[in-house]
Amino acid sequence: MNGKVSYESILARMLASAPGGVDVGEGSIFYDAVVPAAKELAAMYERLYDVVNDAFPDTCGEEALLRHAESLGVKRKAATCAVVSARVNKKLPGGSRFLLGRHVYVLGDYIDEYTIGRYRYRLVCETAGSEANLDVGEALLPLSYIEGLTFCECEKLLEAGRDEEDIESLRRRVVEARISPRSFGSLDDNRRVVGGIDGVGGVKVTPRASGAGTVRVAVRGDDAAAPSAEVIDEVKRVIADEIAQLGQVVTVAGAVEKKADISATVAYADGVDAAAGKEAVGRACGEFVTAAAATWESTAAVVMRISQLTARIYDTGVVKTVASAKINGSAVDVTLGADEIPTLGTVTVS
């Protein structure tokens, strides 16, 4: 529909259609008779605009988008729970619960006895979402007495919790599915189906990776890092059950994290506090690595360019010159391996 039809324009047209000589001034019989009808018509037009917008996934609201997704076989990625590893001095009874930061974790699978008399377990957060990822580093406290437990600590984050897929991410996948209908076993099919698996944040598909009839699928995790072993196993299962064509050989690989140590020598602008300036430059270095990681899916290999790092440092507005900028000790562009995805290592600002 071209242009919105307003209440005022509807009323004006109604008044203009009155027979000659009929009083149409405000408060007249004719005016009072058509005003309610004009309001109802305006409301109907508004509802009609919603109907038209909801007919297309790129303009529809959330409720209609979910219906579009369902009709195309696209599933919204659900929120997932953070999983951490815990180290304790005794074997734990099933159902043990712990407080870590502001969240409660329940005992998961036994991992191993990493040294004599010390054990490692998986703990699963009871609350789904990414907020629990910040709990690592906090004290780990049992919520009930466990006889003989004198030592327990959170070792590291094993699987990052994820929030429910945001509406715009889902919209992009739905629009893609509408534009390119599913063709079983095609490259687009691999990208779309694998990309919709919980825990997968990006997909790279390489046809004829080892000759005719072979396909290589590389995936990264939701947090732009290496995927967990469970995610890799699920990708393999889905490809075998739903995607792979008869006789087609598909190999699956996970992204490999590559630490990017950043160093920069700068001169701060006049009046800039050194501590505040250092923090701003460090934040810019982190944003640079995040932006580079975001290109993993769309490029054969991630290239970390010194010029882009320098530009981000200048964009902070706290420096007047950047004497040098290096990535992993190199002052030239760094090209990672095909499966490597950068993660921020140390940041040194002098």
Among the three residues 254, 276, 303, which one is the final residue of a domain in this structure? 254
Tell me whether residue 96 is in a domain: yes
3-state secondary structure of 282: helix
Boundaries of domain holding 115: 83-159
Task: Tell me: do 300 and 314 sit in the same domain.
Answer: yes
pTM above 0.75, yes or no: no
Q: Which helix (H) or strand (E) holds 341?
A: strand 340-349
Of residues 142, 138, 104, the one with CA closest to residue 124: 104
Q: Which residues of 259-279 are buried (b: 16+ CB within 10 A; e: fewer)?
A: ebebbbebebeeebeeeebbe
Task: Tell me: do 113 and 222 sit in the same domain.
Answer: no
Q: Cβ(333)–Cβ(304) under 8 Å?
A: yes
pLDDT (0 to 100) of residue 323:
93
pLDDT (0 to 100) of residue 145:
93
pLDDT (0 to 100) of residue 182:
58
Among the three residues 219, 234, 254, which one is the final residue of a domain in this structure? 254
Tell me whether residue 173 is in a domain: yes
pLDDT (0 to 100) of residue 73:
82
3-state secondary structure of 21: coil
CA–CA distance, 276 with 284 (Å, rounded to integer): 12
> Which CA distances in Å does 251 have to 68, 107, 204, 254?
32, 34, 12, 10
Q: What is the pLDDT along the chain (350 residues), one digit of tens a residue?
A: 556 789 999 999 999 999 888 888 898 999 999 999 999 999 999 999 889 999 999 999 999 999 999 888 888 888 989 999 999 999 999 999 999 999 999 999 999 999 999 999 999 999 999 899 888 878 899 999 999 999 999 998 888 888 898 999 899 889 888 877 655 556 676 777 888 888 888 888 888 878 877 888 888 887 767 888 888 998 888 888 777 665 678 888 889 989 999 999 999 999 989 889 998 998 899 899 989 998 998 888 999 999 999 999 999 999 999 999 999 999 999 999 989 999 888 889 98
CA–CA distance, 48 with 1 (Å, rounded to integer): 9
How far is CA 172 from its chain centroid?
12
pLDDT (0 to 100) of residue 139:
87
Among the three residues 254, 288, 308, which one is the final residue of a domain in this structure? 254
In this structure, the number of other CB atoms found within 10 A of the CB of residue 45 comes to: 17
pLDDT (0 to 100) of residue 1:
52
In this structure, the number of other CB atoms found within 10 A of the CB of residue 66 comes to: 17
Strands 256-268 and 303-304: unpaired
- Domain tally, the chain: 5
Tell me whether residue 190 is in a domain: yes
Q: Which helix (H) or strand (E) holds 44?
A: helix 29-54
Treating both helix axes as pointing N-terminal to C-terminal, what angle do 229-238 and 187-195 enclose, rounded to 10 degrees? 130
